[in-house]
Structure 1
Amino acid sequence: MNQAPRDGWITTQRLRLHHVEWGDPAAPPLILVHGGRDHARSWDAIASAFADRFRVIAPDLRGHGDSDWVSDGSYEMADLVADMAALFDGLGIARASVVGHSLGGNVALRHAGTYPDRVSRLIVIEGLGPSPKVAAEIAARPIADRMRDWIGKQHRMSAAEQRSYDSIDAATARMMAANPRLSPDLARHLTVHGSRTGDDGRVRFKFDPAVGNMSPADISQAEKHALWAAVTCPVILAYGKDSWASNPAEDGRDRHFRDASTALFDDAGHWLHHDRRDAFIAMMQDFIG
């Protein structure tokens, strides 16, 4: 699909984490962080648009792509943010522009609130987490109920076998069923780089099935808002008009930022950087340079 990137690795918290790079290592860094159950190579097309003037870096989050899985199947947001900090440290990055999608946007945003001096520009694609309405509904449930739900899901995931497919074509069809907006070529690209074939000849996606069961013991909404308010760089909150996600300009979440604007994309869902790639790249070029 695009020129193959260079592979790299860092080790943090006893995990070996993979990343890929494009462009001149001496150029200004641009970090692209994928969403849940995705992988670094989903950024190939966007990376190729910036590799002539940036050192473009795309990590595989823990439990995703070619990075290690955690041994206990428990994926905490604090650990993902620590991994992001380790990427900056391990690659000697003092300051970077960052783009994050969904889970990756949430991670990138918390990292930027924790280390404001490290981030010069930030684009968060539907990465603020639940809307205020949904967050209130979650918080209204007793913690014991939420804990039991999480524990039950952990046990079921531990007992279940990872889903497999008899061919790349079958796995690609599953990818397209999950996101009908994907073109056949893009769906195949995402599948080829996001799966591996086992000794039994079956194709399995690389992500740990447990990544979808986040712990109920996360920081509070007030603490999230404090991290958002601590971000000092300009921020774009990007949303697809056809997405299920709530618009932060309408639900009030944008007011927690010092310098944020909301960008809405017509004819786009949750994966708006795929659905409207050219428009998204144009926005990035105007914002990041």
Structure 2
Amino acid sequence: MSARSKFFSSGELRLHYREHGSENAEALVLLHGGMDHCRNWDFIAPVLARRWKVICPDLRGHGDSNADPSGIYEIDRYVLDLARLVDHAGLSKVRLVGHSLGGNIAIRYASAFPERVERLVAIEGLGPAPDKLEERERVPPGRRLREWIDERQAIERRVPRDYASVEEATARMSAQFPSFAPELVRHLTIHGLRLSAPGMWRWKFDNRVRGEGPFELGKAEREALWAAIECPTFLIYGAESWASDPAKDGRAAHFRDAMVVMHEGAGHWVHHDRCEPFLADLLTQLD
């Protein structure tokens, strides 16, 4: 069965998602990371769709979803969008898989609605390591706010880059992700571009999605959020990633039922670097 493009509303925004598999099957939602799009799951979703109805949304400001007019992309707004998508699709129970930003969104939704999430898989979705967050929290709040405002103004002044051809954009992505297979790079590029002017191409994501807010949950709040998740949780990490291992830094211990799964030979993009072993693990973890 071919994938179906659909839309739903979240406030004033029209958000896009792709649906794979039988409409009557149990639901599985795949959430992409920042500056990405729902088509990054195309090498995985068809296999998962043999068992589940697989829903792959474009986050606000990404892919074929509307940008936020305010240009402010805070995590709570993404979680709200996910809640509205689950309601729109009429799902009483759901399995969630998220990468990076998508993993963070999935974790927060599972904490807010523990009774509705049956399985949770977060691929490097816990955010910065504890030592990085502690370092950030030592910065006085007023200074953090000022630095955030300066960063926002710099982002808003930045002119998004245009490419004269799909090939030029593909070369740029290939240079940025040298571990990705050429066919994956081209696929991500083709579906990640839109025409910005005749003969010119630009990445679909809103350039303002970059950066983070000035204030985050404190240590005790983060730990309480993780502890509220009731379902089996799998924290997937790449052994060659920059990310901190939550089994070693203590974060995994704050979940009720969590397992850290490390993939050798993979970086931050575990599902791209080690697609087949990742998919084999995922099928086991979701059942």
Name the TM-score, length of structure 1 as normaliser.
Answer: 0.97
Q: In 2, Cα distance between the equivalents of 1:21 and 1:221?
A: 36
Instruction: Give the C-alpha shift of residue 228 in structure 1.
Output: 0.7
Q: In 1, Cα distance between the equivalents of 2:256 and 2:100?
A: 21
2:139 pairs with 1:141: yes
Instruction: Give the C-alpha shift of residue 199 in structure 1.
Output: 2.5
Q: In 1, Cα distance between the equivalents of 2:158 and 2:282?
A: 41
2:179 pairs with 1:181: yes
Match of 2:196 in 1: 198
Question: 3-state DSSP class of the match of 2:221?
Answer: helix
Question: 3-state DSSP class of the match of 1:27?
Answer: coil
Instruction: Give the C-alpha shift of residue 114 in structure 1.
Output: 0.3
Match of 2:4 in 1: 6
Number of matched pairs: 287
Instruction: Give the C-alpha shift of residue 217 in structure 1.
Output: 2.5
Which deviations, in whole Å up to 9, do the C-alpha atoms of 1:266-287 show, x marking residues without a partner? Answer: 0000001010000011001111
Q: In 1, Cα distance between the equivalents of 2:216 and 2:11?
A: 19
| Residue of 21, 24, 42 corresponding to 1:26 | 24
2:54 pairs with 1:50: no
Preserved contact between residue 162 and residue 196 of structure 2 (Cα < 8 Å): no
Matched residue type, 1:91: A
Preserved contact between residue 240 and residue 267 of structure 2 (Cα < 8 Å): yes
Instruction: Give the C-alpha shift of residue 110 in structure 1.
Output: 0.2
Instruction: Give the C-alpha shift of residue 66 in structure 1.
Output: 0.6
Q: In 1, Cα distance between the equivalents of 2:167 and 2:141?
A: 42
Correspondence 1:244-259 to 2 at 5 A: 244-259=242-257
2:226 pairs with 1:228: yes
Preserved contact between residue 21 and residue 50 of structure 2 (Cα < 8 Å): yes
Q: In 1, Cα distance between the equivalents of 2:160 and 2:219?
A: 33
Preserved contact between residue 237 and residue 260 of structure 1 (Cα < 8 Å): yes
2:101 pairs with 1:119: no
Matched residue type, 2:170: T
Preserved contact between residue 155 and residue 210 of structure 2 (Cα < 8 Å): no
Q: In 2, Cα distance between the equivalents of 1:242 and 1:160?
A: 31
Q: In 1, Cα distance between the equivalents of 2:239 and 2:151?
A: 31
Q: In 1, Cα distance between the equivalents of 2:215 and 2:135?
A: 15
The root-mean-square deviation of aligned C-alpha atoms, in Å, is 1.1
**Greater CA drift, 26-35 or 211-220:** 211-220
Q: In 2, Cα distance between the equivalents of 1:130 and 1:67?
A: 27
Matched residue type, 2:171: A
Question: 3-state DSSP class of the match of 1:19?
Answer: strand
What percentage of residue pairs aligned between the two structures are identical? 46
Question: 3-state DSSP class of the match of 1:30?
Answer: strand
| Residue of 90, 93, 96 corresponding to 1:92 | 90
Q: In 2, Cα distance between the equivalents of 1:224 and 1:89?
A: 26
Match of 2:215 in 1: 217
Question: 3-state DSSP class of the match of 2:83?
Answer: helix
Match of 1:160 in 2: 158
Instruction: Give the C-alpha shift of residue 221 in structure 1.
Output: 2.6
Q: In 2, Cα distance between the equivalents of 1:200 and 1:158?
A: 24
Preserved contact between residue 172 and residue 187 of structure 1 (Cα < 8 Å): yes
Q: In 2, Cα distance between the equivalents of 1:217 and 1:134?
A: 14
Q: In 2, Cα distance between the equivalents of 1:15 and 1:242?
A: 37
Q: In 2, Cα distance between the equivalents of 1:150 and 1:164?
A: 26
Question: 3-state DSSP class of the match of 1:236?
Answer: strand
Matched residue type, 1:266: E
Q: In 2, Cα distance between the equivalents of 1:199 and 1:176?
A: 23
